[in-house]
Structure 1
């Protein structure tokens, strides 16, 4: 579901692309707002979000609430394409030299947080983006979500009701 997960994929994408400025297109978000599993006060989005950086990298995030359609994340960087299927714990990348398939183990935030805290305590640093870099990315995501809500609800939305 895009409201909950897009922010994490965008952070990863921008970190990989070494770019904190991204332009998002929410034109293909679904008009149907979904229920959030955490609370009735929150909503979810389905559809497509496409993002583009100045250095030519692009990302496409897709979620459909129809049937068992895949949750897809695709990252394009000029000569390379990466596709991630988190549910199957599979990914592949394609470049001039061919295609590579990968298996990975999904890690929960709780185990990742432990690793990040250990990095900070041990090295006085970690691989996370700076707060300022994250802010730029997240602000753009909230812009398209709020713009989409305004179109559907026919009123301005100040706070984006996602978790």
Structure 2
């Protein structure tokens, strides 16, 4: 039986062991770092899918995706004349969380009238939402949601998440 043949962007088809390919990829990454260049993702790079993007709209805004940060949050709105319901998704970063809070600023004239799956501090202007007992501890990448109802317009809110 012959060993498998692989195609690499670093050269022609080969039957090079995976450890050599890893070393070659590490050397290429080191060369990019030394040159100050930033490698770009491409649909043609092996093992890397096309870059994924998601645009925030008036009905959905978010903080950066999880990574080395403690958590991220995104908000989506269901609005009607004179009111809205906001659903906020909290996603744990690479270290997970033992608790979290989300801060956002309500537009002028808006106020929070009801909250679920979080505790609100304040009802107008800058409002802070803190986890409740059952949804504070999140493992890396885990998502939880909370929501609130408000009067006025909720358009333009951008949540900021902090983990503890």
Greater Rg, structure 1 or structure 2? 2
Per the normalisation by structure 1, the TM-score is: 0.23
Q: TM-score, normalised by structure 2?
A: 0.23
Higher helix share: 1
